[in-house]
Amino acid sequence: MKKPHAISRQNKATVSGRIAFQHLDFRYYWFARVLSRFGTEMLNATVLWQMWMLTKDPFDLGLIGLAQFAPFFLLFLLSGVAADQFQRKHIIALCLGGMSIAASGLFLITITGTDNRLSILAILIFVGTSRAFQAPALHAIIPVLVPKEHFANAIAWSSLAGQTAKIGGPALMSGLLLIGIEIVYGVVVLLFLTSAFLTTQLKTNTQIITKEPVTLELLFGGLKFIWSRQIIFGAIGL
């Protein structure tokens, strides 16, 4: 029979493993992240399958990745500044709303039979733009949702959410695809909208809004910081 103090230590260890979930806003954030990542992974897998069925051209599959990556590359300076200038929870919610609109567009062109290479790529550029602005706000919001002593635990759970979605998203998509591709897009829309709603429930002031005017120095400040610290630059390069 276990001694009471041994049971107490065991319970404490169990609780400490998910201590970040003691904070209501982190719970909202985490479930929103799980849903949005599932939606993103399902959308990516579905458009790859749909494009292949339409064109049977491997080059077009590469264009799907390019359509979503190009906005990240072109807008990373502006999106970083936006995350400092505006409430991050509002940015995340708006971007999720934009992604739900894009998924709705994919749903509509699919059920109407108007899906083709150009229409899919155009919608994916919109998805990429939304994700480009979402990413900096999404990663910068965690430190204000939990105290610093719980930050590592919050990061671990956030990473777990992403890794789970990478596996579970395509798996769920393949099951729904047996019913119909339009069903997959419908579920993705629902996931994005639910995630956006959960994000709007955050009560924490997700940042202290900067009053610093937007200048070229501000835009390139992050690049200068990274370049001046070669360890960080090398880590990003990996």
pLDDT tens figures, 200-231? 999 887 665 555 655 555 555 655 655 566 55
Please check whether residue 173 is in contact with residue 42, taking contact to mean a CB–CB distance below 8 angstroms.
yes
- Residue 4 counted as domain residue: no
How much is the pLDDT for 143?
86
Percentage of the chain exceeding pLDDT 90: 63
- Give me the CATH number covering residue 72: 1.20.1250.20
pTM above 0.95, yes or no: no
* Helix spans in 20-150 (H): 24-55, 58-85, 88-111, 117-140
**Distant-in-sequence, close-in-space partners of 97: CB < 8 Å, separation ≥ 6:** 192, 193, 196
Tell me: the pLDDT tens digits for 168-196? 999 999 999 999 999 999 999 999 999 99
How far apart are the C-alpha atoms of 199 and 63, rounded to whole Å?
A: 31
DSSP label of 212: P
- Residue 150 counted as domain residue: yes
- Residue 162 counted as domain residue: yes
Count of domains observed in the chain: 1
- Residue 164 counted as domain residue: yes
- Residue 12 counted as domain residue: no
Rg of the chain over Cα atoms, rounded to whole angstroms, equals 20
- Residue 197 counted as domain residue: yes
How far apart are the C-alpha atoms of 228 and 220, rounded to whole Å?
A: 12
- Residue 15 counted as domain residue: no
| Residue range of the domain that includes 169 | 23-206
Structure tokens at 102: 């894009």
Q: For residue 136, which amino acid is it?
A: P
How much is the pLDDT for 81?
79
Structure tokens at 14: 């169990």
Displacement of CA 67 from its chain's centroid (Å): 17
How far apart are the C-alpha atoms of 176 and 182, rounded to whole Å?
A: 9
How far apart are the C-alpha atoms of 184 and 25, rounded to whole Å?
A: 29
> Closest Cα to residue 154, out of 48, 28, 66?
28
> Closest Cα to residue 162, out of 18, 30, 15?
30
How far apart are the C-alpha atoms of 145 and 206, rounded to whole Å?
A: 7
Residue that has been written with the tokens 């019913």 in this structure? 179
- Residue 5 counted as domain residue: no
